[in-house]
Amino acid sequence: MWLDPKNPQLNHNGELHHLLSLDGLPASILWQILDTAKSFAGVTEREVKKVPLLRGKAVFNLFFEPSTRTRTTFEIAAKRLSADVINLAINISSQTKGETVLDTVANLAAMQADMFIVRHAASGAPYLIAKHVAPEIHVVNAGDGRHAHPTQGLLDMFTIRHYKHDFTQLRVAIVGDILHSRVARSQIQALSSLGCPEIRVIAPKTLLPSNVESLGVRVYHEMREGLKDVDVVMMLRLQNERMQGALLASAQEFFKYYGLTEDKLELAKPDAIVLHPGPMNRGVEIDSSVADGQQSVILPQVTFGIAIRMAVMSILAGN
């Protein structure tokens, strides 16, 4: 299998062979996924939510890091495409016994896998797997370290498009722990590819990577300033373990200055929508009244997530 070393996600026809990151993907492929997902969204509204596309294909959910939610949405998506789904929670201890990621993958590939959905705590792990699997196997990154979570980024784009239609007029704010967030990286890359003219990140300096401007964003440390006149507010999850180190003083202080509350949301445009990748920490990054409020599209995000994953899997398996 010839894969472009500069962009190992694409095959020689420039088609998507693996989905590892949104970084470096041509906008046409992003649009193709979003358009296809729109059709799948229709399927998910039907009585029979299943199509026969991936009949006979084996999709392996390969989770080196536990995540019930993401694994479940991939599983539902694969099943709605009529694929056989095998869930594998890789015991981290078997890894420490000397079995490497590649050993595990080689074993599974021998079980006639067609697709690997990979979640790993280390940035770049799906690249390593993609580089070493047999050419007919497709790899989907379901979140790797701080690097990327492309299907989450795509479903967020699908959600924004659903409510706002056009990216070229949007002002979007991403709020919270950008530094450790694979979601934020994928969102930023997708928004820039799709032509969003103004992407803001709002966070204290300890939760921003250095050179974050090089990703093409405007930096705000003051949330009220950053939310002014935005069309979309994308909240990030603040992992509990971040509270233990010296990144932040306390959950209370974080909520006071960077938590999304109704009065802060009033600074955004009146029709602004609020996204969150879940699971939410109510009272830490988002107030319940906002999470459950009129402007929240957090539940539709989950539904759209299935359509996006169906689109990604069906495009990959067909290429």
Q: Minimum Å distance from CB 256 to another protein? A: 27
CB 14 to another protein: min, Å: 12
Stretch that binds another protein, among 84-92, 140-148, 195-203, 278-286 (CB under 8 A): 140-148
Only segment of 205-213, 219-227, 276-284, 296-304 that touches another protein (CB under 8 A): 205-213
Distance in Å, CB of 47 to another protein, minimum: 6
d(CA 154, CA 294): 23
State in angstroms the smallest separation of the CB of 124 from another protein: 3
Give least dist CB 279 to another protein, A. Answer: 20
The residue among 263, 276, 279, 182 whose CA lies nearest residue 235 is 276
- The smaller minimum CB distance to another protein, of residues 1 and 102, is found at 102
Span interacting with another protein, options 66-74, 106-114, 208-216, 236-244, rule CB under 8 A: 208-216
Rounded Cα gap, residues 262 and 245, in angstroms: 29
DSSP lists the bridge partners of residue 4 as 7
> Which helix (H) or strand (E) is 202 found in, with range?
strand 198-202
Q: Which one, of 124, 44, 39, lies nearest residue 77 by Cα?
A: 44
What character string, x for contact with another protein (CB under 8 A) and - otherwise, covers 110-139?
Answer: ----------x-xxxx-xx---x-------
Candidates 93, 96, 168, 214: give the one binding another protein (CB under 8 A). 214
Q: Within positions 172 to 201, which residues make up the interface with another protein, using CB under 8 A? A: 182, 185
Alpha-carbon distance 158 to 300, whole Å?
Answer: 10
Segment contacting another protein by CB under 8 A, of 69-77, 141-149, 150-158, 168-176? 141-149
Query: Which residue among 51, 89, 219, 243 contacts another protein (CB under 8 A)?
Result: 51
CB nearer another protein, residue 245 or residue 270: 245
Q: Which of 44, 106, 113 is CA-nearest to residue 80?
A: 44
C-alpha angle 252/258/261, rounded to 5°?
90
What's the maximum distance between 2 C-alpha atoms anywhere in the chain? 56
How many Å apart are CA 289 and CA 278, to the nearest integer? 16
Question: Of 233, 215, 246, 213, which is closest to residue 285 (Cα–Cα)?
Answer: 233
Hey, what amino acid is at 121?
Answer: A
What backbone torsions phi and psi does residue 241 show, to the nearest 5 degrees?
Answer: -65, -15
Looking at beta carbons only, is 13 or 168 nearer to another protein? 13
- For residues 231 and 273, the answer to whether their CB atoms sit within 8 Å is yes
Contacts with another protein, residue ranges (CB under 8 A):
5-6, 8, 15, 20, 23, 32, 35-36, 38-43, 46-48, 50-53, 100-102, 120, 122-125, 127-128, 132, 144-148, 182, 185, 209-212, 214-215, 314-315, 317-319
